[in-house]
Amino acid sequence: MAFDKETCTDFETALSKEWLETNGLGGFSSSTITSCNTRRYHGLLVASLPTGQAEQPFSMARLVLVNALEEWVLSGGTRYDLSVHQYPGVVHPRGDRNLTGFRLDPWPIWTYRVDTLVLEKSLTMIHGQNTVILTYKVRKENSQAELVIRPFLTCRPIHTLHQENPALQPQAEVRNGVALLNPYPGIPTVYLHQNAAGYVPGFNWYRQMEYARERDRGLEFREDCWAPGDFHFTLRSNQEAILVLTTEGAGYFDSTFLLNAERARRRKLLTGWEATDDVTHHLVLAADQFLVKRSLIAGYPWFDVWGRDTLIALPGLLLTTGHFAEARDILKTSAGLSREGLIPNRFAQAGSPAQYNSVDTSLWFLVSVFHYLRYTKDFDFVKDQLWDAMKSVIEHYQNGTHFHIHMDVDGLILAGQAGTPLTWMDAKVGDWVVTPRAGKPVEIQALWYNGLRIMEQIGGRIGDKERAGKWGGLAEKVWNAINREFWYEEGGHLYDVINGDEKDASLRPNQLFAVSLPFESVTPDRAGRVVNLLEERLLTPFGLRTLDPRDKRYASRYYGDPRSRDAAYHQGTVWPWLMGPFLTAYQKVHGKSPRVQAHLRAHLALLLTHLWESGLGTISEVFDGDMPHEPRGCIAQAWSVAEVLRVLREELGPSAPLQTARVPEKDPAAL
């Protein structure tokens, strides 16, 4: 993935392209291709530190330690800037004018031309460490050239902004050539390893740096950074200039070894995908970015671990890529956190207990276990480690659990009450529930039916045949109730929610799961009508709208302050993760002929070009409902990547035999 000088020097275009490096701990490094930060979350070293609380295994403290660099080259008595920052009314300096190219290979690499010198800069975050390595290589030498690097720091939590204050301790301690910074009590030491010819202390504040995307989001967007001094490097063709940003200590760093090991690790991730195209390679590498310890980050740069997102994304991120051990860890951990049939929607974080306010997360857990078995046939693990939690889900949903979740006399699941959103459409502004769905949401019934069929199949395989038979009988009752109560003949689709005598006929994508899940919960004729209508009214090149544009509540843009964005979040905004279930449902209805396969690929074509447009090599959280469908939200969303990767593997088929994972049976409901 590469961009030429024309793109790099088009300021607004270049600002829209953001790169992301991650470390498997929740930490990351991210900015734009010009290195001009546009978000409070941008930073070269965003460290993730454990909170030390055993009861919160997914808890992490993420800190923006090193925000950016001011870099310039001195050649022939002239200063040539490499960096770019935005201040009120001015962009300064303008290093983008010296930028001739940017590429991901496999990490960010910039090429600058200044005077007669061609300089290549690379940035790599090391897996398993809060460490970023920057290297500068001379591609065409000017013997008089000197590189100067001035780090900018804030050392703050990722969701906050930093202002000038007297508490800062900016002085760097230089020990054996390593600069140590301890700016605030309780903040980890930042170590700057380098092979500079010299370090010149010189504390300065850089005030009112502006972050354009924060302004667009209706949030505070100005920040004060500080710089401790300058590192001076002599540029030679036979020696790299190296700067290491880390919290890992002042001991010796073998940068060459770490870079070679990281390159080898990423190459290994592509084992079994060698014959696929570059787009798929980018998606496989993107999938790895979300895996953090025994969990999946929901999205970068601001989300942490969410149960629903983790379980929906697990098949695409972990099973298609052969990460079965990691999938087992997540399923086992989820089962261990189950309480009265509920699995947390949000795992415990520092100062915040686990949140169980979801009706669908536990049902997605059952579906994820089913997909795990399709790939692995590991029934012993499921029986020994997961089965009790799985039974608890069914029993508590039947008999009742928190949030008024219980089975009604017709076999369907009732959930929630006014003011408490429990489905994935959960936006809430103060006391205003934007998309109220208390009652019997359609996708919950589809998930409930699938959960019963899954338990029936697995129970029959592991010796729990008596209960398996009962679950199968209840599943029949649920299937009949869905088809009797949810079909809206006038509209040719399923009701979105039924609550007593009230039937919500809003055309939303939630009914898609009645077709896309392993066990269809509607008749074949109705499945076809649903899929065709959703294709006509909700499908866009980047996913499905969350509400029919003909609906008077439809919001065409996801933009503005938090209230404006929450008001649009599930009221028309496009979600790319829904492209996965749509394509699965389409193929179920229309078959797997070459014509259908070509149709599916055509639907994916524009979404795949998005990998070059916003978060490079990955897929955004949401898009505007209306053309031109601008990308919004997180630049990298786990289930967006997961569902595209899953359909590329399962629905469109691998281009070569899969080496690291077993291709499941063609029947998606077969174990």
CATH number at residue 197: 2.70.98
Residues of the domain holding 476: 274-650
The b-or-e profile of 359-391 (16+ CB within 10 A means b, else e) is: bbbbbbbbbbbbbbbbbbeeeebbbeebbebbb
Identify whether residues 107 and 33 lie together within a single domain: yes
Is there a domain that residue 26 lies in? yes
Identify whether residues 236 and 321 lie together within a single domain: no
Is there a domain that residue 482 lies in? yes
Identify whether residues 96 and 144 lie together within a single domain: yes
Identify whether residues 260 and 280 lie together within a single domain: no
For the chain, percent of residues with pLDDT exceeding 70 = 95
Question: HEC string of 590-626?
Answer: HCCCHHHHHHHHHHHHHHHHHHHCCECCCCCCEECCC
Model confidence pLDDT, tens digit, residues 502-519: 999 999 999 999 999 999
Identify whether residues 593 and 528 lie together within a single domain: yes
Please, which pLDDT band fits residue 276 given cuts at 50, 70 and 90?
confident
Which H/E stretch holds residue 179? strand 178-181
Please, which pLDDT band fits residue 374 given cuts at 50, 70 and 90?
very high
Please state the rounded mean pLDDT for residues 609-628: 97
For the chain, percent of residues with pLDDT exceeding 90 = 87
Please state the rounded mean pLDDT for residues 290-318: 96
Count the neighbouring beta carbons within 10 Å of the beta carbon of residue 529: 19
**Which two structure tokens, joined as six digits, stand for 135?**
């290297």
The answer, yes or no, to whether residue 52 has pLDDT greater than 80, is: no
Beta-carbon-side half-sphere exposure of residue 544 (alpha carbons within 13 Å): 26
The pLDDT value recorded for residue 666 is 52
The pLDDT value recorded for residue 55 is 52
Is there a domain that residue 663 lies in? no
Identify whether residues 257 and 279 lie together within a single domain: no
Q: How many domains does the chain have?
A: 2
Please, which pLDDT band fits residue 351 given cuts at 50, 70 and 90?
low
Q: Is the pTM of this model over 0.85?
A: yes
Identify whether residues 307 and 222 lie together within a single domain: no
Identify whether residues 493 and 578 lie together within a single domain: yes
The three-point CA angle 438-440-442 to 5° equals: 115
Task: Give DSSP secondary structure letters for 54-121.
Answer: TT-TT-EEEEEEEEEEEEEEEETTEEEE--EEEETTEEEEEGGGGEEEEEESSSEEEEEEETTEEEEE
Can you state the percent helix, strand and coil of the chain, rounding each to 5?
A: 35, 30, 35
**Which two structure tokens, joined as six digits, stand for 536?**
């006509």
Identify whether residues 233 and 335 lie together within a single domain: no
> Which is nearest to 573 in space by CA: 532, 620, 514?
620
**Whole-number Å distance between alpha carbons of 161 and 441:** 40
The pLDDT value recorded for residue 56 is 56
Count the neighbouring beta carbons within 10 Å of the beta carbon of residue 627: 9
The answer, yes or no, to whether residue 191 has pLDDT greater than 50, is: yes
Identify whether residues 226 and 293 lie together within a single domain: no
The pLDDT value recorded for residue 657 is 29
Scan for tokens 């997605």, then name that residue. 364
Count the neighbouring beta carbons within 10 Å of the beta carbon of residue 308: 23
- Name which of 81-95, 179-193, 640-654 the model is least confident about: 640-654
